[in-house]
Amino acid sequence: MVRHFVSALFFLLAGTAMAQEGASRPAVTTEAPVLGDGGTATEAAPVLPEATEPAALAPPAAEAAPVADPEDLSVAEPEVDTDLVNLVLKAHPVVQAVMGLLTLAVAAVLTVFLFKIVEFALAFARLRRARAALAADTGLVALAGQCPLALSSQAACDEVDGLSPGLTADLRASSSARLELALDRIEAGAVMRLRSGTGLLASIGAVGPFVGLFGTVFGIMNSFLAIAATKTTSLAVVAPGIAEALLATGIGLVAAVPAVLLYNAVMRRIGAYRHTLADGRAELLARFSREMDRRMGV
């Protein structure tokens, strides 16, 4: 019986050895086993089932984001419109009012300039014709027309016609004084008409820069308020207010400088006109004096 037991044990050990030789070798993995809190080092890592459809289970690949240029990482500033018309339209209402007032001043200066060109051309032409007609006769004549020299000749003739036959020295002196007053009034009226518009030119020339300066101050103040509101000193924030402020100053200078130049030109032309009129007046007084001498029989 012992022999049968030994034989059965021998066959059992032999079968076990043959089974071990025929079995496949265990797979070796390069990944480190995952250690759990309650696991031991001898436990094998769990085997994951093979994916039947890798493409379906895998998440869609995200598109590669473009690499940003380091120079473009700065904050993009808003574009500034450099058109003067849009700059005026976007300006503060107070600055717009200043610009509108100065634009009207520029238009007024241009209107006075065109009017004075025509007025002085007609005035000098009439005065030249009157002097030519006065030089054509040697005696005291009454010239036709509304020229100051023609009106002066008419006043001289009226004064002579109003004298009494018995002319004395006292009457002659009083008559000469009355004629001087009449000629002064005629000359003053002519000069006053030629000076029309010069007060406006003087006012624009004196006040225009200060009105533009007011627009400049308000525009710069508006720029500082924009800096305080946006909490940034970017040129895109500061530039529009400064630009509209400087534009107001520029319009003020455009109105003031031509006004001053035109005022000086008008005054020079008035001086030349008065000089020409004074020559004709002196000629009239000389002829009036000779007529008085003739009346007195001197």
pLDDT over 90, % of the chain: 28
One DSSP character per residue, 197-256 reads THHHHHHHHHHHHHHHHHHHHHHHHHHHHHHHHHT---HHHHHHHHHHHHHHHHHHHHHH
> Whole-angstrom Cα distance, residue 27 to residue 44?
11
Res 5: pLDDT: 55
Arithmetic mean of pLDDT, 143-165 = 84
Res 79: pLDDT: 55
Q: Does the pLDDT value for residue 234 go beyond 60?
A: yes
Which range is most confident: 62-71, 124-133, 284-293? Answer: 124-133
Res. 259 pLDDT band, cuts 50 70 90: very high
pTM exceeding the 0.85 threshold for the entire prediction: no
Residue 138 in 3-state DSSP? Answer: coil
Res. 59 pLDDT band, cuts 50 70 90: very low
Res 3: pLDDT: 58
Res. 7 pLDDT band, cuts 50 70 90: low
Residue 34 in 3-state DSSP? Answer: coil
Contact 133, 143 (CB under 8 A): yes
Q: Does the pLDDT value for residue 217 go beyond 90?
A: no
Of 102 and 69, the one with more pLDDT = 102
Contact 157, 134 (CB under 8 A): no
Position 112, amino acid: V
Torsion of CA 85, 86, 92, 97, to 10 degrees: 20
Task: Kindly provide the residue ranges of all beta strands, DSSP E only, lying in the chain, ordered along the sequence.
Answer: none
> Whole-angstrom Cα distance, residue 234 to residue 245?
17
Contact 196, 283 (CB under 8 A): no
Res 224: pLDDT: 80
Res 269: pLDDT: 94
**pLDDT mean across residues, the chain:** 76
